Structure 1
Amino acid sequence: MDIYREITPLKNQDVLVVLDSTNNGFDYPIHNHPEYELNLVMGMSGTRIVGDSTERYQDFDLVLLGPYLYHKWDGDQLLQEKGPPYRVITIQFAMDLFGSHLFQKDRFLPIRNLLTDSRRGIKFHGQCLQEAMRLMIGLTEDQGFTNIINFLQLLDLLSHAKEATLLASEGFSPQALRNSTNRIQLAYSYILKHFTNPSLRLEEVSTKLNMSPSAFSHFFRKFAFRSFSQFLIDLRIGHACKLLLDTDDTVSQISAKSGFNNLANFNRLFKKYRDCTPIVYRKRYLEKSAFDWTKQSTPWQFMPKDSRNLAHVNPTEYATRLKHY
């Protein structure tokens, strides 16, 4: 399956770019890019895809996306054709923006943690969404250096949000657990390294931590909010979803590469947790990724993976209102 790469308008000299569009449609494929993205949809309802998460959104939607995380928003066709005006504001900034010595200071730790979590996609709602919406609308107007201050204020707001939900599963975007307890960090890192091994057992991990299986089971549930076996299933199903989208491997091959000891068990668990078979899951995403990249409104904005050797350049114009800060 082709996952298109978006060529974003971000330039080396930019801190961020803000794209602001009204009634501009959602005619683009499932795609990714190396930049972080904060996307706000106002006045529209539809379906949102982030990694292996597919959800309905209603009226307002705010999501922070980490680098290379697959995503796409659809808008309800009837609302696009006959509904009131709708607006989408998108903020994009580079992976290395917060890599300087200044941003390694303790005051920026919540923002760095926010960006780490964004690799699974984060949905914000409630009062946080309302406050973030006000700041993002303000960023569509050029106010000089004030925009940079407001951008940092926006990230600080999101980094302390209680009204937030992670979207993609751990297995789709595996990463080390951010937790102050070193022991659970070690357990999580070991599981991430070995979860594709079908023989991985709770007893093996507990031995690495010098704990009895019973003590480790209670300890793990306390921090992971689910049993070890459930956590392992979630990891493996998420990883299988990524392989279904990233590769042309057969379902049998993906089952083996995801740590399942037999195909029947994989199919049963996949259907239980994704409400469809692996084949249907892949087919649905293929339908969502259908896109004639030669006819896009902004030339060279979305590139299929087999075009990597073409001598393309960044778009000179974008179909939306664009601000560089």
Structure 2
Amino acid sequence: MRKVISFQIPKSNKEFVRFQVDAGKHFYDKLHQHPQWQLTLILKGKGHLMVGDYLGRFEPGDMFLFSSNIPHVFRSDSEYFDQESEKESLGHTLFFDFEALGKKFIEVEEFVELQHWIYQTKGCFSINGDAKNAIANKMSFFSEQKGLNKMLISFEILKVLMESKDLALLNTLIPSIDYTETEGKRIGQVMSFILAQSQQEIHLQDVAEVANLSKEAFCRFFKARTGKTYTEFLNQVRIHQACELLQESEFPISEIAYQSGFQNLSYFNRVFKKVKGVSPMKFREMGISRNK
């Protein structure tokens, strides 16, 4: 029997929705999955969101929806792990447990549309526009709700999600089987190592040793669980870091390439354009024009 990644939402089996505040230096940094659906609003903190074959940045104001049993992790940036830093992380999350409604749930006529949406909606989504604003407003006073009011607001939020055109699917790789605890721990350690060391030169052998696998076995393992090769993943991490430096600093592009872990400027330019669709210079200019 495969033992999946161990992670329990602190709620009773009879509770349909749970509101949770995640406050501290950094977010929970282990790859995990759970049967409950998750809706998270980031209020403080920055870092990488990793889910399936998706790797992207999160920052204050971002909102994400995860369907059931999608392995994911909000990996805060390194400065949030520095005990001397004043950086803080804060997120508000709703966990929806549709199984708590019971088997008769699918037989209730009024819930047919919701049940169909639940069945069709798989993966991780970013929520934008009017939908995000409407949901964030409801989440701002959700902790005060109890009983029937809590249930009614929950379904109002679900209705917004169902009817919204502002949900963007982030991952294309949907796991066909659950991660075992061993696999979850291994891929989590690998991702943490890459994120921590990405500004340095990293050899394939070094990462394979973190996973306790041969180079060949590691490459197969990593591609099967992320949908990316090790090099593609590493380059994407470095490009995300370069994007932040391009937007938040005045360093020359050659210096940004080096600080992001690229030893060759022409290679950096090629990879950047492949990932972002524009050159580093154009990306910086676009950011400047948006901020004016």
* TM-score (norm. length: structure 2): 0.55
What whole-Å deviation, never above 9, does each CA across 1:87-137 have from its counterpart, x for those lacking one? 211222325245543454454344324433443122211111111111122
Corresponding letter in the other structure for 1:94 = D
C-alpha distance in 2, partners of 1:257/1:50? 13
CA contact 1:20–1:87 (8 Å) conserved in 2: yes
Q: CA RMSD in A?
A: 4.0
C-alpha distance in 1, partners of 2:6/2:115? 25
CA contact 1:110–1:156 (8 Å) conserved in 2: no
State the structure with bigger RCO (CA 8 A, min sep 6), 1 or 2.
1
In the TM superposition, residue 29 of structure 1 has moved relative to its aligned partner by 0.6
Residue of structure 1 aligned with 2:217, choices 250, 253, 259? 250
The secondary structure found in structure 2 opposite 1:173 is coil
Structure 1 residues 30 and 79, CA, compared in 2 at 3 Å: closer, same or farther? closer
What whole-Å deviation, never above 9, does each CA across 1:134-186 have from its counterpart, x for those lacking one? 112221123332011101111111111100111221x43359xxxxxxxxxxx
In the TM superposition, residue 24 of structure 1 has moved relative to its aligned partner by 4.9
C-alpha distance in 2, partners of 1:250/1:8? 33
Corresponding letter in the other structure for 1:26 = F
CA contact 2:53–2:228 (8 Å) conserved in 1: no
Corresponding letter in the other structure for 1:41 = I
Q: How does 1:16-95 map to 2 (within 5 A)?
A: 16-78=17-79, 81-83=85-87, 86-95=89-98
CA contact 2:44–2:60 (8 Å) conserved in 1: yes
In the TM superposition, residue 25 of structure 1 has moved relative to its aligned partner by 2.0
* TM-score (norm. length: structure 1): 0.50
C-alpha distance in 2, partners of 1:51/1:257? 10
C-alpha distance in 1, partners of 2:46/2:100? 32
The secondary structure found in structure 1 opposite 2:95 is strand
C-alpha distance in 2, partners of 1:21/1:34? 19
In the TM superposition, residue 16 of structure 1 has moved relative to its aligned partner by 1.8
Q: Give 1 or 2: higher helix fraction.
A: 2
The alignment of Structure 1 onto Structure 2 pairs a total of residues equal to 197
The secondary structure found in structure 1 opposite 2:144 is coil
Structure 1 residues 49 and 110, CA, compared in 2 at 3 Å: closer, same or farther? farther
What whole-Å deviation, never above 9, does each CA across 1:234-261 have from its counterpart, x for those lacking one? xxxxxxxxxxx9x998268669999xxx
Q: Which residue of 2 aligns with 1:146?
A: 149
Structure 1 residues 279 and 77, CA, compared in 2 at 3 Å: closer, same or farther? closer
Runs of 5+ unmatched residues, structure 2? 178-210, 239-292
In the TM superposition, residue 78 of structure 1 has moved relative to its aligned partner by 4.4
CA contact 2:46–2:57 (8 Å) conserved in 1: yes
Q: How does 1:273-284 map to 2 (within 5 A)?
A: 274=228, 276-277=230-231
The secondary structure found in structure 2 opposite 1:92 is strand
C-alpha distance in 2, partners of 1:163/1:104? 29
The secondary structure found in structure 1 opposite 2:122 is helix
C-alpha distance in 1, partners of 2:97/2:33? 13
C-alpha distance in 1, partners of 2:167/2:42? 16
The secondary structure found in structure 2 opposite 1:60 is coil
CA contact 1:34–1:95 (8 Å) conserved in 2: no
Corresponding letter in the other structure for 2:127 = F
Runs of 5+ unmatched residues, structure 1? 176-244, 259-269, 285-325
What whole-Å deviation, never above 9, does each CA across 1:250-299 have from its counterpart, x for those lacking one? 268669999xxxxxxxxxxx9xx847548969xx9xxxxxxxxxxxxxxx
Q: How does 1:68-147 map to 2 (within 5 A)?
A: 68-78=69-79, 81-83=85-87, 86-98=89-101, 100-147=103-150
Structure 1 residues 257 and 165, CA, compared in 2 at 3 Å: closer, same or farther? closer
CA contact 1:44–1:60 (8 Å) conserved in 2: no
Corresponding letter in the other structure for 1:61 = D
Q: Which residue of 2 aligns with 1:166?
A: 169
Q: Which residue of 2 aligns with 1:198?
A: none
The secondary structure found in structure 1 opposite 2:6 is strand
Structure 1 residues 43 and 95, CA, compared in 2 at 3 Å: closer, same or farther? same
Corresponding letter in the other structure for 1:112 = Q
Structure 1 residues 119 and 106, CA, compared in 2 at 3 Å: closer, same or farther? same
Structure 1 residues 257 and 164, CA, compared in 2 at 3 Å: closer, same or farther? closer
CA contact 1:3–1:31 (8 Å) conserved in 2: no
CA contact 2:222–2:228 (8 Å) conserved in 1: no
Q: Which residue of 2 aligns with 1:218?
A: none
